[in-house]
Amino acid sequence: MFASCNEEEETVGSTLAGAVVNTTGIGVAGATVSLWRSGESIANYTSTTDVEGNYNLINVLNGDYELRIRAAGYEDYSVNITVGGNNVDRSDTIRGTALISGQIINSQTGQGLSGAEVTFSADGDTTRMEADLVVTTDELGYYIIDGAPVGVFIQVVRNEGFYPQVQENVAITEGENELNPVTAVEGVAEGALRIVLTWGVSPGDLDSHLTGPSSNGRFHCYFSSKNPVSEVNLDVDDVTSFGPETITISEFTTGTYRYSVHNYSNWSESGSEGIASSPARVEVYGSNGLVASFSPPAITPGNTWRVFEIAVAGSNIEIVPIDVYVTADSYSNINSFRLAGKPSFKDLGIF
């Protein structure tokens, strides 16, 4: 009778429940959690974490174990533990082999944006709840994640009053990963448009040019004339790579608006090579978010990318893609940013 009672007691086990999280405090889904007794060649108990990183091992015999955790993209993790009674609030942090850093830029100031939330998701989901990594920018707009997993992610930037910014196919490899700056674009009022130019390290200086109708004929908005009419403003002029260059149109006049990108770093007809080889991107935002985006066309002679026109007839506003290279002879000559090709002497001075 006495021996039988001991055998029953030995079959009564404990519950080990907990969570596996990464260095940003987010649960790691699909991680394998196992318990190993000393000298054993196979695990005594095994579980897999759910979508929130939680696991549950039941009927675990009391005693000393090695807790091992394995997850794709992360380093193997192990720790010695003692199971006795119910352990239901355990948390273990696992690390990847990557360090991620970057900066989020305010479209309206060209400076770092503090308090922006930056998420990385490996499964293609852009929702906050499904993010694998979450970090918030500091007062200068910088963020850093140490111990991140390797893999290919979707990066999403969110901040109140700004449109979400999505960067696809962000490859994170072992070691340091310094990502290019991401521009967070502040929202605009109904009826307004915001044009944002970003690019890469080279060329050092790309310039935004917008021409359009005014009471005096046509205005020309660029770095030397940032507010040519009350309803148009060059909010940010960047001269040291990446951008942004931001132009906001708060109100429209009937007529044709024309937006161009000039390679200030190379005035020759090979300037288009610098534009085309850079990850240049022009995005147009309305009150409901992104309405149009443009990437440079294939190289042809020219130093200026004529991106699009805006045809305005009363309340009807239409964005018309142009996507050609032309040669501008002067950054201040409005006709360089108006005509369909390189202006002739006959054309100069004609609006």
Residues 71-75, mean pLDDT to the nearest whole number = 95
What domains can you pick out in the chain, each with its CATH number? 2-93 (2.60.40.10), 98-183 (2.60.40.1120), 187-337 (2.60.60.30)
Distance CA 229, CA 233 (A): 8
8 Å CB contact between 159 and 116: yes
CA 41 vs CA 37, 44, 59, 94: distances in Å: 9, 9, 20, 23
| Span 91-105, pLDDT tens digits | 999 999 999 999 999
Residues 4-27, mean pLDDT to the nearest whole number = 77
| Span 318-341, pLDDT tens digits | 999 999 999 998 888 777 776 544
CA 74 vs CA 22, 70, 174, 188, 200: distances in Å: 9, 7, 10, 41, 30
Distance CA 220, CA 234 (A): 11
Judge if the upstream peptide bond of residue 279 is cis by omega within 30 degrees of 0. Answer: no
Task: Say if residue 112's pLDDT is above 50.
Answer: yes
DSSP string, 43-60: -SEEEE--TTSEEEEEEE
Residues 170-197, mean pLDDT to the nearest whole number = 96
Distance CA 98, CA 174 (A): 5
Phi/psi at 277 (nearest 5 deg)?
A: -85, -15
Residues 213-241, mean pLDDT to the nearest whole number = 93
pLDDT at 339: 55
Q: Which residue has the tokens 């005594």?
A: 44
Phi/psi at 336 (nearest 5 deg)?
A: -65, -25
Distance CA 266, CA 169 (A): 31
Distance CA 271, CA 15 (A): 68
pLDDT at 127: 77
Distance CA 327, CA 339 (A): 10
Contacts of residue 52, defined as CB under 8 A and 6 or more positions apart, other chains included, come to 19, 27, 29
pLDDT at 125: 75
pLDDT at 3: 41
Pairing assessment for the beta strands 232-236 and 245-249 based on DSSP bridges: antiparallel
Cα-based torsion angle of the residue sequence 217, 223, 224, 230 in order, rounded to the nearest 10 degrees: 50
Residues of the chain with pLDDT > 70, as a percent, come to 93
Sequence letter at residue 228:
P
DSSP 270: T
Nearest to 90 by CA among 149, 30, 148, 35: 35
Upper half-sphere CA count for residue 168 (Cβ side, 13 Å): 2
pLDDT at 338: 66
Sequence letter at residue 226:
K
Nearest to 303 by CA among 273, 278, 327: 327
Phi/psi at 129 (nearest 5 deg)?
A: -65, -25
pLDDT at 12: 63
Distance CA 291, CA 341 (A): 27
Residue 285 sits at the vertex; the CA angle it makes with 250 and 327, to the nearest 5 degrees, is 85
Give the H or E element holding residue 233: strand 232-236
User: pTM for this one?
Assistant: 0.86
Contacts of residue 11, defined as CB under 8 A and 6 or more positions apart, other chains included, come to none
Give the H or E element holding residue 177: strand 175-178
pLDDT at 262: 96
Residues 250-278, mean pLDDT to the nearest whole number = 95
Nearest to 184 by CA among 102, 251, 78, 241: 102
Contacts of residue 3, defined as CB under 8 A and 6 or more positions apart, other chains included, come to none
Average pLDDT, the chain: 90
Task: Say if residue 11's pLDDT is above 60.
Answer: no
